[in-house]
Amino acid sequence: MQNSTLLYIILSGIIALVLALFQYGYQSKLKGIRQWVLSGLRFVSYFSIFLLLINPKFDKVTYYNEKPNLVVAVDNSESVTYLNQTDNVKSLINSLKENEALNAHFNVEFYRFGKDFQQSDSLAFADSQSNLSLVFERLSEVYNNSVSPTVLISDGNQTYGNDYVYATRRFKQAVFPVVLGDTTTFTDIKIQQLNVNRYAYLKNRFPLEIMMTYNGNKTVNTELQLGIGNSVVYSQPITFSKSQTSQIVNVTLPANNVGVMSYKAQVLPLENEKNTINNVKNFAVEVIDQKTNVAIVSDILHPDLGALKKSIESNEQRNAEILSVSDYLKKSADFQLVIVYQPTNNFRALFNEMNRLKQNKIIIAGPKTNWTLLNQLQEYYNQELTYQTEDFQPTLNQNYSTFIVDDLNFSEFPPLKGEFGEVSFTLPYETILFKTVSGTELESPLMATFEINDKREALILGEGIWKWRAQAFRDEGSFNTFDNFIGKIVQYLSTNKRRSRLNVDYESFYNGNDNVRITAQFFNKNYEFDDNATLNIVLKNKENAQQISFPFILKNTNYEVDLSGLEPGDYSFTVSASNENISKSGSIKILDYNVEQQFLNANVDKLQSLASDSGGASYFINNTDALINDLINDNRFATIQKSTKKVVPLIDWKYLLALIALSLAAEWFIRKYNGLI
């Protein structure tokens, strides 16, 4: 309380006393005890009212106890079942829940994790992957500012995400791993990794690299076999020893049939080998009977050329060549698509040849483009000639309906430099990207596509697309999103199939642990995206003819269905729209591979290192008796008494208001009783 406030209170008391004595000592004729009682009541009333006017503030301190948190994160993946630890885990969880001393000492929170991480105390041990790094990323968002020791119940084997040892460096809590397994070492051979391209070309041979590892002390002999169906197409003897614990085999296999070819790589198991599941790995290759050749024709050198070539060739089904006009004319019939980069005066013969062959093309125009000539060489669009340039920012057209375009955050991409002025089209076209200048979106296209006389063409009105590829890498850490965007344009332009109101995007095959997702777009009769459609997919297992139906879910400008729970096998499917006679069919293959079955032991060393680095301790699941006592008796996790100080104004003190009412009422009653009113 400030000194000035204290002075006001003293003055208020003096004034209240003077007024009370003046009224009942000087003016009143009462004598004796009644005079002093009424003077006292009047003093209390005056003084209390003056205090309310001054409204002094007081500090109110409240004390409370804050218990530390105990976070229990439990591995819910299938590997817990394979290691025969489900009963041990459930028993430990029940012990933690029922221990009264532990629950009195901590606020106990239970989480489970596999590929995802969520708060829950129900366990199914059915997740197909383990992402331990996600555990510490999520917990650090919630518990880093509190005392929250963490009990991690896991085998320590991670199949997905970043290395959790590095993720824990940002997690400021002590970690107490409970190891699901023991240190027993078993003799084991496994296929550690298998590298193969997704695509191969008919009548070619495709490379295959197989990495095998051995855990044991004796010299053993086995055999590597590669099979397709019931036939063995390749075999090789393999020898392992205590000093030679790994082998790498490189093989080339023929691609003789078009379609998805399923193979099985197998290392024959040793006698008494405990885990034989990790001796086998299935893989598939899609054999394609034609390769798309793309010509990039330019008379100038520019970074865009290299960026386009890299993006196109990121898909092994495609090949791109950077050519001059004269080089293109020598082998023009070899290409399914031509990219014409900033045509100049030398491009007249090029356009004549493309028209003769009825080739699809992409025209990329920029500051070096001869628009006078380009306006003459085609009749589909006309650029206003201003002989000035402008920087155009891209903005995605969400209603583009020709094929599915993902938003790569185009609005944050660097601008393209192109000719200033309007572009007028003489035929229907669809805009992929609009021009944006100084934050204002124009109706003029920056990138557009159109179809005429069974030919397809795209127009890009600016140079500098290499910056977009670099920006995509900066945003995503890879070029994949931009390369896929260019790939879809190339795929659309390299075929002459007419567009459909229903487009379905899927892979020919998926590995067993992949996310099996199929996306689709549906358009109304004006080829505008319809976000009120009801799409369903019916899958049929080719082996047992069992049919399953799933609905699509709308996500932004796509419909999506998640089929990740399907059993491995070959499936045919049909996607159809309700109340419309429109459907699309296809087939997919899901390979039999479960990464959680590849582990024979817990990763004891890694979990013990995690405990040591974080200031915790590790325990084996069959020896957790000391865990609860160690947590309770650890001085770092003691209950803390905290206080909160709150400044309370006197006007909020209800008792003072009651005192004023009581003193006034008592004074009125005494005066009334004595006939003074």
Helix-strand-coil percent breakdown of the chain, rounded to 5?
A: 30, 35, 35
Q: Right CATH number for 69-173+603-638 from 3.10.20.90, 3.90.480.20, 3.40.50.410, 3.40.50.1370? A: 3.40.50.410
Give the pLDDT confidence score for residue 398 in this predicted structure.
Answer: 86
Q: Report whether 456 contacts 490 (CB < 8 A).
A: no
Q: Right CATH number for 188-288 from 3.30.565.10, 1.10.3720.10, 2.60.40.10, 3.40.50.1000? A: 2.60.40.10
CATH 2.60.40.10 fits 502-593, yes or no: yes
If DSSP codes are grouped into helix, strand and coil, which group holds residue 230?
Answer: coil
Give the pLDDT confidence score for residue 365 in this predicted structure.
Answer: 94
> Domain 292-493 - what CATH class?
alpha beta
CA 351 to chain centre: 45
Give the pLDDT confidence score for residue 292 in this predicted structure.
Answer: 84
Give the pLDDT confidence score for residue 162 in this predicted structure.
Answer: 77
pTM of this structure: 0.50
If DSSP codes are grouped into helix, strand and coil, which group holds residue 225?
Answer: strand
Say if strands 107-113 and 117-119 run parallel, antiparallel, or are unpaired: antiparallel
Q: Report whether 209 contacts 248 (CB < 8 A).
A: yes
Q: What is the Cα–Cα distance from 148 to 174, expressed in whole angstroms? A: 8
Say if strands 150-154 and 175-179 run parallel, antiparallel, or are unpaired: parallel
Tokens of 533: 């459609």
Q: What is the Cα–Cα distance from 105 to 557, expressed in whole angstroms? A: 50
Give the pLDDT confidence score for residue 497 in this predicted structure.
Answer: 57
Q: What is the Cα–Cα distance from 631 to 96, expressed in whole angstroms? A: 11
The pairs formed by 16-22 with CB atoms below 8 angstroms and a separation of 24 or more are 16/43, 16/46, 16/47, 16/50, 17/43, 17/47, 19/43, 19/46, 20/46
What confidence tens digit (pLDDT) does each residue in 176-207 have? 998 887 666 678 888 888 888 877 777 778 88
Assess whether the region 188-288 and the region 292-493 belong to the same CATH fold: no
Give the pLDDT confidence score for residue 115 in this predicted structure.
Answer: 78
Determine the Cα angle at 138 with ends 133 and 142, to 5°: 145
Give the pLDDT confidence score for residue 499 in this predicted structure.
Answer: 61
Determine the Cα angle at 535 with ends 534 and 539, to 5°: 145
Q: Show the 3-state SS of 426-466.
A: CCCCEEEEEEEECCEEEEEEEEEEEEECCEEEEEEECECHH
Q: Report whether 484 contacts 387 (CB < 8 A).
A: no
In the chain, which stretches have pLDDT less than 50? none
> Exposure of 421 by Cβ count < 10 A (0-12 exposed, 13-18 middle, 19+ buried)?
middle
Domain boundaries in the chain? 3-63+646-673, 69-173+603-638, 188-288, 292-493, 502-593
Give the pLDDT confidence score for residue 527 in this predicted structure.
Answer: 64
Give the pLDDT confidence score for residue 628 in this predicted structure.
Answer: 86
Give the pLDDT confidence score for residue 203 in this predicted structure.
Answer: 75
